[in-house]
Amino acid sequence: MDQNRPVSWGLFVFFLLFSPARTEDQSVIQALVVFMDKLVPGSMQTTPNWGWNTSSDPCTSKWVGITCDKDNLTVKKIVLEKLNLSGILDFESVCKVSNLLVLSVSFNNVTGNLQQEVSNCKRLTHLYLTGNRFSGNLPDSITDLPNVNRVVISNNGFTGQLPDFTRLTTLLTFFAQNNQFTGPLPRFNYRQLDGFNVANNDLSGPIPDDTGRFDASSFVGNPQLCGKELAVQCPVKKKDKKSHFRDILIYSGYVVLGCIILVLVAILACKKRKKQHEDVKTRSPKKNGSDSGHSSGSKNSRVRSEFSTTSVESGGVSSSMVVLSSPVVNGLRFEDLLRAPAELIGRGKHGSLYKVKPDNGVPVVVKRIRDWKISRDEFKKRLQKIVDIKHPNVLPVVAYYSSKQEKLLVYEFQQNGSLFRLLHVSQNGQMFSWGSRLSLASSIAGALAFMHHELQADLIPHGNVKSSNILLTDNMEPCLSEYGLMPIDHQDPDPNNNNRTAATFKDDVHAFGLVLLELLTGKPIQDNGTGLANWVSSILKEEWTIEVFDKALIIEGASEERMVVLLQVALKCINNSTPPPMAEVAAIISSLKEEEERSTTSSDP
């Protein structure tokens, strides 16, 4: 036995060195072979290194059309385009590849129906079937794919009605042109789509897209389809006589009810005015008309607006508005704000925002904060500290007013709006390039870092960093507004705690990280940003980083390398456990900006 032992060890070593390594399970390999057999590859099986057999491994043997993860452990993509495949697509087999992200059999001759088992590919993000001979209905189960981003089924023979795609919250592209779909066009989440086309089918009825993001080219070739994007406008339905008579009765009831409410309101108003008049008579002899601020009585009641429920503090001393040195509000008085018409332009958790244009004055913005449990003196000290710190990218307060019930802050009105509006509402034909976005991010990061440093001892963060609070000046320079107007909810009372300062400013860093995600993805923040952050994380997990970025940036040809670096900065910021300080974030983005500028300069002719 001792003489045979070296031979046995030699065979064992030979087996380890030269036998094909296995990464995928044998059951998965068998399923892939069955999947390919049903596609009928024909003469393609004679292609060198074709693979697709049970004696080799799809990753280590590099089967044709297979892409695995970076460690060659599992199949991620199957791309079998222009291979003259002529069989059927077996989802029951291919979906046994549990980590499959991309499946494409475009530009072949694949036939048959799309199977209900397509929903078994739970991690699938991209499905490309264009340019084949598929037929039959599109199964409803396709809307059960929880991670799908792209569905391209154009240039086939699909029939029947399209399923309801509103459940697909991750869908970004849907191309189904040049098929034979019938029936009404279902609803999609049009606001999140960056590509959509159902042209040249037999769809009917109105186009449910109310966003106007897609023009007629996405819907043409459907003679019975109507909508504002098409030459065929949807007819206005005429109501029959019965429904018309019913509407008259309903509206008449509303009118009668409205009249009753108006009468009741008038009675209550008369009683209230009478009571106020009696109160004025009672108080007037005691005060002898010597109030230093606002006069009391009916005259003062007439000039009050929605900004203030009261201007009198306890003890009968009137609060006045403090006007800081600024040519914008030179000579402005609190009464001018009360008399001027106010336009509500924003409402948030902590207060409301109004645009006001006093008589013979320039328009200003008034921030109204209610029910902040802070004394007038504390508020004045806090605001004075903020006012004393000046930075070109922080919008200065030009006046303020404080009472028990509310605080008013006055800013100069910025007619170019906010970053939120520029990104998500209307750009007025203005291109928001990668360089502009990077420059804006650098300016705001620098402003936050500066304010954090200057107000570190006072523990005054911004408290409400978001794209709607980043305004654009006449020169399109970004300005951070409403600095320090939010109470600190989790301030540590122990002044000896060294982590106190970091914890106080951490929320600003997190919020700025979300702003960076908005700039990179072009998507708005909802649900405190958790939805967008989770979406970005899911895309990165599947190693499709390019899908994260705003399509406009990709079309522009922005530097993917620098976008990835900025994305990494954003993800570090939203890491609640150990976010970097704002100064570090500002330094990285400033370096990125300088690198971008050098690159742009060197590429100019």
- Residues of each annotated binding site: 367
Among 98, 74, 95, residue whose Cα is nearest residue 23: 74
313 vs 39, 41, 73, 277, 403, CA distance in Å?
A: 82, 86, 72, 20, 6
Least Cα distance to 129 among 186, 89, 161 occurs for 89
CATH number for region 417-605:
1.10.510.10
- DSSP annotation of 336 reads H
Identical fold at 309-413 and 417-605? no
The label of the residue with tokens 């328009």 reads 363
Distance, in Å, from the CA atom of 72 to the CA atom of 481, rounded to the nearest integer, reads 50
State the average pLDDT for the chain: 78
pLDDT-derived band at 43 (thresholds 50, 70, 90) equals: confident
pLDDT tens for each residue of 434-450 = 988 999 999 999 999 99
pTM attached to this predicted model: 0.52
- pLDDT of 63-101, one tens digit each? 999 999 888 889 999 999 989 999 999 999 999 999 899
Q: Residues forming the annotated binding site for ATP?
A: 367
Q: Which CATH superfamily is domain 19-226 in?
A: Ribonuclease Inhibitor (3.80.10.10)
Report which listed range, 177-181, 281-285, 374-378, 480-484, is most confident: 177-181
d(CA 161, CA 150): 19
Strand partners, 88: 111
Q: How far apart are CA 382 and CA 407, in angstroms?
A: 13
Question: Residue 58 to residues 34, 51, 89, 99: CA-CA distances in angstroms?
Answer: 13, 7, 19, 14
Q: Where are the domains of the chain?
A: 19-226, 309-413, 417-605
309-413: CATH class: alpha beta
DSSP, res 160: E
Above 60 in pLDDT, residue 223? yes
CA angle, residues 106, 107, 109, in degrees to nearest 5: 105
Choose between 133 and 495: higher pLDDT: 133
Alpha carbons 587 and 589: distance in angstroms, whole number: 6
Task: Kindly report the number of other CB atoms within 10 A of residue 409's CB atom.
Answer: 21
pLDDT band at 604 (very low <50, low <70, confident <90, very high): very low
